[in-house]
Amino acid sequence: MSLTNRFKNRLIAKVITRYPSIAQRFISAYEPWESGEAVPWSPPQKPLSACKLALVTTSGVHHTAQEPFDMQDSDGDPTFRMIDGATIANDYKITHDYYDHSDAEKDLNIILPLDRLRELQQEGVIDQLAETHYSFMGHIDGRHIATLIGQTAKQVVEKLKQDQVDVVLLTPA
Amino acid sequence: MGVTIVREYTEKVQPPRSVYLKWPFGHPLGEPGNVKQQRAVVLEAFKALYTITTPGEIVDLPFKWRRHDYNSYEEPGPFVPRS
């Protein structure tokens, strides 16, 4: 994707963030992929105060030393980055041309609410906050949908299971 | 459970449980520095985890963008499985 197109995408992102009526046109023009399968369902088995929680976001946030998400591919990027909850607030970059992240750069909690979750952990609302969280860049289309469903999402699920996470909060952008 | 700001997509993709906010892109937890607002969204997501019984259900949260007084927000809880 050319620099001109990336600039255009960022400009559109700023406009649709500021003007919801214009955003609605973009939303209506896109058809998300539907599996047609039954909705996965797992009822909570224990109180939240006994649960370990992790975040999975599609906001495109990552550590500065990590490889940025691919913004050259018009179909996006189905890979994920592992986020260290202890250091991310002081060491992050957002690579995502399809929304205006200037506010998230002022306060990461609006896309990754780690401070709020730490407070709730201290209050005993949740038992544990995972040390590792997971970040995707939410523009995933075309051939990358199969990679997300068949590979990368499954990898994240496996890592969450290994970490004995009970509850995941998904945050978009 | 998930937060969504595009209800149309969530209706089609059907994650198990969602809370919907008619808020701008890039602001699923609200505005920078608005701790009460961010906390309210997290707590409402927790509430949805324990109260939604229909797979794919979306709860429409009543918080108006930049027009909601969170000082009067009554926090839900405790969050426990249905007996």
Kindly state the DSSP code that residue A102 receives in the 8-state scheme.
Answer: H
Per-residue burial over A119-155, b if 16 or more Cβ lie within 10 Å, else e, is ebbeeebbbebbebbbbbbbbbeeebeebbeeebbee
> Is residue A21 in a domain?
yes
pLDDT-derived band at A12, boundaries 50, 70, 90: confident
Please check whether residue A132 is in contact with residue A62, taking contact to mean a CB–CB distance below 8 angstroms.
Answer: no
> How far is residue A133's CA from residue A121's CA, in Å, rounded to a whole number?
16
Structurally, chain B folds into a number of domains equal to 1
Q: Which pLDDT value is given to residue A112?
A: 98
Please check whether residue A17 is in contact with residue A100, taking contact to mean a CB–CB distance below 8 angstroms.
Answer: yes
Cα A20-A97-A171 angle, rounded to 5 deg? 70
A48-107 residue pLDDT tens: 999 999 999 999 999 999 999 999 999 999 999 999 999 999 999 999 988 999 999 999
Which chain A residues have a beta carbon less than 8 Å from that of B37? none
Among A107, A114, A115, A140, most B C-beta atoms within 10 A, so best to mutate, is: A107
Of A43, A48, A172, the CB nearest to B28: A172
Which chain A residues have a beta carbon less than 8 Å from that of B33? 106-107
Q: Do A111 and A66 fall into the same domain?
A: yes
Q: Do A19 and A97 fall into the same domain?
A: no
Classify A43 as helix, strand or coil: coil
Of A30, A125, A173, the CB nearest to B28: A173
Structurally, chain A folds into a number of domains equal to 2
What range does the domain containing B29 cover? Answer: 2-66
Percent of chain A scored above 70 by pLDDT? 99
Match 């995972």 to its residue by tokens. Answer: A130
A117-141 residue pLDDT tens: 999 999 999 999 999 999 999 999 9
Among B13, B21, B25, B35, most A C-beta atoms within 10 A, so best to mutate, is: B25
> How far is residue A61's CA from residue B10's CA, in Å, rounded to a whole number?
21
> How far is residue A83's CA from residue A62's CA, in Å, rounded to a whole number?
7
Q: Do A19 and A51 fall into the same domain?
A: no
Q: Determine the residue of chain B that is closest to A28 in CA distance.
A: B8
Q: Is the peptide bond before B78 cis (omega within 30 degrees of 0)?
A: yes
> Is residue A41 in a domain?
no
> Is residue A12 in a domain?
yes
Element (H, E) at A158: helix A153-162
Classify B9 as helix, strand or coil: helix
Check if B27 contacts A (Cβ < 8 Å). yes
Rounded to the nearest angstrom, the minimum Cα separation between A161 and chain B is: 16
What range does the domain containing A21 cover? Answer: 1-30
